[in-house]
């Protein structure tokens, strides 16, 4: 049963690998993991070194698209983890229902495709939930909670799950998790709190959560309440509800809440359905819907900033010495230059190929049907062009320039990056 729901979850995520986003916030962990799999220098202040080991593992795929596919497969593990926890606390029917809902939840699919909304925090909370479903917990609960917090600081709201680890092995795991998390907590404590300007209207995040998830989102909200009715699920349900309260309090304090923050608790919330009597274990399946695919139809242009478009543009890069930079005349970047550089490095391209002086190869995002004039077109798309021989002065004056610096800093560290527009008006 666990293998079945995992296969389904992996399939619905991998079929949309090209639709995943690969802008700088989702690219950052890959670049950081390239330097070190347990990097004490996070790509952004809220994150900890526990974010990067899965990304370092994924980089062995040999291409950036392959690495994204490995991470999407990791996201799919929420389904068997939730199913096994529900099996332990309920029965086979409810376990299958929980696994199917986790496999096809549109909210979790959106989180996986985003590449940056919580990273793998929901998965690590799923590991902690599975651990808590065992009598007294397992040694993996504490480290899993620590990893979740290093993937997203608001995952600290799931700390009540730690109270379910009361066995000797569970307490030992919590001690290990505490040691893992302490440096990250000290760094968060020293950081300045975010300004309270982004909370939005009351209930906006909940509304977006319900709109994105549809009937499954309602099943998620109902899960902890139903869990209170079962003797074996009651403690997990109480811990989940307390985690939701802590998440709301943290959101009010920080002034920041989004629907993907609520999804962090999806696995423990849905496991509450294990309290449903066996004869009614099929009821959660009423929320089941065939997930819509975000894959682009053959012959249609890829969306800017996606894995598929970065893959196509990377294959169009010429061999030999190259100076790469990005320019946005309109819209969002078609592909991050740093993503193209990392993909080329994974394919075996030498760092010596990257130049910081001389003619520039530009990846330019522009309005449809209005590409800039260039001497050499290497690749042209719906709203982007990869070209050489463009007017550098005009681009510096009219476009948003950038995107290569992160790639040069990581992949060509021995060279000094020179801003192509630094000496221009």
Higher pLDDT, 375 or 120: 120
Segment 410-421 mean pLDDT: 81
Q: How far apart are the first and last CA of the chain?
A: 64
pLDDT of residue 195: 44
CA distance 321 to 319: 7
CA distance 61 to 12: 20
Confidence of residue 299 (pLDDT cuts 50, 70, 90): confident
Residue 414 has pLDDT above 70, yes or no: no
Please classify residue 40 by burial: count the beta carbons closer than 10 Å to its beta carbon, then call 0-12 exposed, 13-18 middle and 19+ buried.
Answer: exposed
Confidence of residue 418 (pLDDT cuts 50, 70, 90): confident
Eight-class DSSP state of 360:
P
Average pLDDT over all residues of the chain: 93
Higher pLDDT, 203 or 23: 23
């Amino acid at each position: 049963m666990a293998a079945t729901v995992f296969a389904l979850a992996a399939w619905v995520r991998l079929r949309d690998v090209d639709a995943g986003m690969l802008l700088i916030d989702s690219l950052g962990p890959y670049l950081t993991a390239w330097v070190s799999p347990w990097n004490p220098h996070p790509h952004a202040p809220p994150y900890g070194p526990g974010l990067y080991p899965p990304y370092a593992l994924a980089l062995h795929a040999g291409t950036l698209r392959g690495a994204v596919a490995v991470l999407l497969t990791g996201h799919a593990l929420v389904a068997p983890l939730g199913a096994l926890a529900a099996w332990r606390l309920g029965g086979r029917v409810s376990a299958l229902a929980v696994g199917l809902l986790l496999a096809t939840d549109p909210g979790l699919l959106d989180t996986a495709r985003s590449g940056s909304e919580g990273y793998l925090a929901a998965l690590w909370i799923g590991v902690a939930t599975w651990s808590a479903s065992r009598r007294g917990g397992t040694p993996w609960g504490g480290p899993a909670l620590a990893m979740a917090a290093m993937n997203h600081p608001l995952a600290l709201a799931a700390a009540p799950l730690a109270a379910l680890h009361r066995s000797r092995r569970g307490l030992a795991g919590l001690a290990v998790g505490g040691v893992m998390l302490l440096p990250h907590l000290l760094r968060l404590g020293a950081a300045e709190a975010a300004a309270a300007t982004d909370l939005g209207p009351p209930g906006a995040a909940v509304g977006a959560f319900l709109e994105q998830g549809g009937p499954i989102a309602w099943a998620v909200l109902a899960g902890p309440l139903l869990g209170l009715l079962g003797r074996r699920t009651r403690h997990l349900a109480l811990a989940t509800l307390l985690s939701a309260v802590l998440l709301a309090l943290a959101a009010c304090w920080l002034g920041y809440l989004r629907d993907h923050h609520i999804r962090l608790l999806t696995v423990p919330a849905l496991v509450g359905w294990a309290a449903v009597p066996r004869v009614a274990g099929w009821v959660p399946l009423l929320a089941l819907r065939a997930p819509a695919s975000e894959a682009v139809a053959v012959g249609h242009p890829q969306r800017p900033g996606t894995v598929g478009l970065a893959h196509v543009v990377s294959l169009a890069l010429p061999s030999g010495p190259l100076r790469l930079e990005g320019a946005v005349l309109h819209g969002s970047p078609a592909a991050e230059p740093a993503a193209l550089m990392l993909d080329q490095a994974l394919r075996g391209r030498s760092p010596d190929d990257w130049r910081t002086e001389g003619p520039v190869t530009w990846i330019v995002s522009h309005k449809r049907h209005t590409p800039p004039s260039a001497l050499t077109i290497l690749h042209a798309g719906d709203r982007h062009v990869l070209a050489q021989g463009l007017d550098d002065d005009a681009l510096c004056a009219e476009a948003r320039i950038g995107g290569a610096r992160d790639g040069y800093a990581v992949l060509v560290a021995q060279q000094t990056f020179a801003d192509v527009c630094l000496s221009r008006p």
